[in-house]
Structures are given as C-alpha cells and as structure tokens.
C-alpha cells in the first residue's frame, strides 16, 4: 500500500517522522495487560461548545484537564484514540523530577532567563511529589512506589559533574544526594558504577494506569472527556475556535491547548515541527525469583545511568524487570529489543539468570532541539505545549497543573515556561536516520569510558 493511501505524506521526510510504527504495539505492553480498564468515554457526536478544548489525552492533556476542571473551568479533553495511547501509556514508568544529563538548573536558567528558569526548576523538582500526591488524592490504582530515582555513574570521570549537579539542586532546596562508589554498587547490585545521583522523591508506576486514573479523576471533577475523536482541523469561526472531529462532530471553544506530542497529524504544522520523533523500545521479563531483589535494586529504586545510550531498568511489584531504550536502526523493532536490551542487563548484572522477554513494545517521544519544554503561541487564544523530551512523566504532570492555573486566569509571569513562537527543526523526519549515526558513535564512547575506568585501552 502506498504511503499516500495509508494517509501519510508521500514526502519521505514527513513519512519517516509521522508513520506510526508504534501504534501496533500499544496492546502488547505489560502496562496494557495489567492496568485497570480505561474510564468509559466515547466519541464526540454532534456539536458542542466549551471554554477550553485540550487536544491530546496523554499525561500533559489529562493533568491540564483535571486541574482546569478542579478550578471549575468548562473543559473538553479530546483524544484521537484512548487515554495514554501515545508515549504516556508506553513508557518505562519512571517518575523523574529531573531532565536529561546536562540539563541542570544552571542550563535551564541560562536558556529561559533567571526567573522563568527558576520557576521551571522548582516546578520540576516538586513534580515527583505532585505525581504521588495526585495518585493518593484521587485513589489512582497504578502500582506506584515513591522509592526514589537513581542515576549511577558509568565512569569515575563523571564524579565532578555529579557533585555539581547535586549542589545545584540542593541550592533549590531539593533533597537530592551524591552517593559514593560503594553506595552506588550496593544500590544497583553492579560493580560497574562509580557513584550515583539519588532523588528520593522519584519512583515508578504503571504509566497507562496512571494516565487512565488522571483521566477518570478529570471526569469526576466535571471535565468532558472524549476518546476515538481525532481533531482533524482547527479554524476561527465567529470569534471562537472550531475543531472538526473525524466522524463529523465539532467543538467550539474560546481557547485551545494542543498537547498532541509528536502525533498531532497537522493540526498545527509549525508547532508539531518544533520537535523531532525518537522511537524507544521496551521489554518486560516474566516474574523472576523474588530472592534476586536482594542483590539487584534492593531499595526498589528505578535506575537510569549516565551512559549516552543509557541503561535504565526497574522492578515491578510482581518481580518482573522492565528495561529498554534505543535501537540503532531506524527500522528497529520491539522484537529485536527482546534480545538487545536484556543482554545489556545480563552483562552488568551477572547474578541474574539469562533474561527473556514476556512483553515487548515500542513508543515514540518528541524532543525539542534543546530538550526543554515549550508553550507555543499559535494565535488567537490557541497554544501548543510540549514537555516530553524523554523525561516527561513528572514534567508533564507539573506543567499541566501550571498551564491549568494560567488558563484559569493566572498571569504569564507565573508560568514555568516562556510563551514562544514555534521554531521548527529542519527535516525532523531525518531524526531516525541521524540516530543511526549518533547511536553507534556514542555507544563506542560509552564503551571507551567503561574500558578506561578498568584501565583497558580500546582500539578506535
């Protein structure tokens, strides 16, 4: 079938960026198998009118709609498929009140200015607690554990960076800590680490169950929530926004917030083009011998190390290990992830038996060129917000709350992001190909760091 017939653009770059290879695996994840059912919602039928329309039912849309509804705003949450169908229902379930390595408070303040930068750091630092508070407040059954997020150092050369990162977050009042080599080895159960960053306010959960729980809470608080309702077009009509929904319904709204991540399908092309897509693969083992938990992540933290091609893993309450990450080829598949990512874990954790995957799935995240969140003005009371960037669960929950406060009458000066115009990246569709070059190079650098730490010289 041609790309055009499948509904994708015939342009190869747009096709690479948009073709959703991830869609088929939504139902293949551990999260899908174990989450309580989605709240009962259906498509938009006929015409409706609301104050605010939020398009996209991931963490960001659900958190915004929930907090808007709690403030009494008449809000509709419009999802093309079902709550959590995008990155939110498919990730590793790490709650990380932090951004990627290198994006520390100083960098955020430099990028956004001291005031907005400070607000973003404070919001993000508190976002782990916010996630677990919302779970408790709304009785969300998502097998959560606020047992901390840990970032072990794969190289002793990262030690100075660690001390600096900890000092920056501690200056903001965050209860983070630098762990010694011995502490890191005991925390992870691997002797290949040289210290670690620990944030005890992080943790883990079933992300699909969490986003379904946020959505159910939004409904209980009065939000109008719709699934199977893809917004295909937005235009101005009599001083309001008119959203056309696949299947024939319409929504008229005073204000519109797009939270569609990388899959908006052309609702606002400049805003969508501001991020490039990255596909990640996930696997979950069958339940393992619970005795293994005594030597591997004994404190039930979730761990993502400092490698560029990072090794990230966690336990689930039923003693499975969940891990995953990138694959070098743009045509990588969840099936290939079954062996690749588990083999890496077996290498750093020799006490584990040979791991096998019971579940394998994939998802797609969107990243801006500086990996920072955006609130983009797309005109006349419509905005597009992105906060994914790979570490999005805490960030999107926190940003959703801040956006709801702002849409309920807050001032621009309270926002933890600047309002900007879309700044599209050149040829976002080339990202998968760029990763095919970036990844082997950076895997080699990771290997070199590890070899150097062991006193071995690698041939280039």
Binding site for ligand FAD (CB under 6 A): 55-61, 78-81, 85-88, 90-94, 96, 230-231, 259-261, 263-265, 267, 280, 282, 363-365, 387-388, 390-394, 396
Q: Compare residues 266 and 290 and give the one whose CB is closer to ligand FAD.
A: 266
**CB of residue 392 vs ligand FAD: minimum separation in angstroms?**
2
Nearest CA among 184, 177, 181, 180 for reference residue 199: 177
Report the C-alpha gap between 330 and 398 in whole angstroms: 32
Q: Compare residues 155 and 389 and give the one whose CB is closer to ligand FAD.
A: 389
Q: Compare residues 194 and 249 and give the one whose CB is closer to ligand FAD.
A: 249
Q: By three-state DSSP, how is residue 399 classified? A: helix
Q: Compare residues 349 and 365 and give the one whose CB is closer to ligand FAD.
A: 365
Q: By three-state DSSP, how is residue 89 classified? A: helix
Q: Compare residues 185 and 415 and give the one whose CB is closer to ligand FAD.
A: 415
Contact (CB, 8 A) for 51 and 75: yes
**CB of residue 390 vs ligand FAD: minimum separation in angstroms?**
5
User: What does the DSSP assignment read for 334-352?
Assistant: HHHHHHHHHHHHHHH-TTS
**CB of residue 110 vs ligand FAD: minimum separation in angstroms?**
23
DSSP state of 352: S
Q: Which two tokens stand for residue 444?
A: 């080699």
Report the C-alpha gap between 132 and 135 in whole angstroms: 5
Nearest CA among 427, 4, 398 for reference residue 201: 398
Q: Which two tokens stand for residue 283?
A: 């696997």
**CB of residue 11 vs ligand FAD: minimum separation in angstroms?**
19
Q: Compare residues 153 and 245 and give the one whose CB is closer to ligand FAD.
A: 245
Query: H helices of 262-319, where?
Result: 269-272
**CB of residue 285 vs ligand FAD: minimum separation in angstroms?**
16
Ramachandran quadrant class, 25 (left: phi over 0; alpha: psi -120 to 50; beta: rest): alpha
Q: Which two tokens stand for residue 65?
A: 């709609």
**CB of residue 206 vs ligand FAD: minimum separation in angstroms?**
11
**CB of residue 79 vs ligand FAD: minimum separation in angstroms?**
5
**CB of residue 73 vs ligand FAD: minimum separation in angstroms?**
19
Q: By three-state DSSP, how is residue 61 classified? A: helix
Q: Compare residues 153 and 327 and give the one whose CB is closer to ligand FAD.
A: 327
Ramachandran quadrant class, 418 (left: phi over 0; alpha: psi -120 to 50; beta: rest): beta
Residue number of the CB closest to ligand FAD reads 392
CA torsion angle 289 290 293 294 (round to 10): -110
């Amino acid at each position: 079938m041609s790309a055009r017939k499948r509904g994708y653009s015939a342009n190869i770059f747009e096709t690479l960026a948009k073709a959703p290879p991830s869609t088929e695996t939504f139902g293949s994840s551990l999260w899908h198998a174990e989450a309580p059912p989605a709240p009962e919602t259906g498509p938009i039928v006929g015409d409706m009118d609301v104050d605010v329309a939020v398009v996209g039912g991931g963490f960001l849309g659900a958190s915004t709609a929930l907090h808007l509804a709690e403030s009494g705003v008449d809000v509709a949450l419009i999802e093309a498929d079902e709550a959590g169908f995008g990155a939110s229902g498919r990730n590793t379930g790490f709650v990380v009140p932090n951004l990627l390595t290198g994006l520390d408070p100083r960098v955020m303040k430099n990028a956004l200015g001291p005031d907005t930068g400070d607000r973003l750091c404070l919001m993000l630092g508190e976002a782990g607690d916010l996630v677990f508070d919302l779970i408790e407040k709304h009785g969300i059954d998502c097998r959560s554990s606020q047992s901390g997020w840990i970032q072990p150092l794969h190289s002793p050369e990262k030690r100075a960076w660690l001390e600096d990162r900890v000092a920056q977050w501690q200056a903001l009042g965050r209860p983070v800590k630098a762990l010694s080599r011995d502490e890191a080895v005991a925390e992870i159960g691997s002797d290949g680490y040289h210290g670690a960053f620990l944030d005890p306010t992080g943790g883990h959960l079933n992300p699909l169950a969490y986003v379904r729980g946020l959505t159910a809470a939004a409904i209980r608080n009065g939000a109008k929530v719709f699934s199977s309702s893809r917004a295909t077009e937005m235009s101005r009509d009599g001083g309001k926004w008119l959203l056309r929904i696949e299947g024939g319904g319409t929504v008229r709204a005073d204000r519109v917030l797009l939270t569609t991540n990388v899959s908006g399908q052309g609702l606002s092309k400049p805003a969508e083009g501001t991020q490039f897509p990255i596909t990640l693969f996930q696997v979950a083992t069958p339940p393992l011998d619970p005795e293994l938990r005594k030597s591997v992540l004994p404190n039930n933290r979730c761990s993502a190390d400092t490698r560029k091609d990072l090794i990230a893993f966690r336990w689930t309450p039923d003693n499975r290990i969940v891990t995953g990450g990138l694959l070098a080829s743009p045509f990588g598949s969840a099936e290939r992830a079954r062996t690749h990512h588990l083999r890496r874990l077996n290498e750093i954790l020799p006490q584990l038996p040979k791991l096998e995957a019971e579940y394998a799935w994939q998802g797609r995240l969107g990243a801006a060129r500086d990996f920072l969140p955006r609130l983009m003005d797309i005109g006349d009371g419509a905005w597009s917000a992105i906060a994914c960037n790979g570490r999005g669960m805490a960030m999107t929950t926190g940003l959703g709350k801040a956006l709801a406060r702002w849409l309920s009458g807050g001032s621009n000066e309270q926002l933890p992001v600047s309002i900007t115009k879309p700044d599209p990246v050149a040829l976002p569709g080339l990202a998968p190909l760029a990763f095919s070059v970036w990844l082997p190079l950076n895997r080699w650098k990771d290997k070199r760091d590890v070899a150097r730490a062991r006193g071995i010289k690698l041939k280039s």
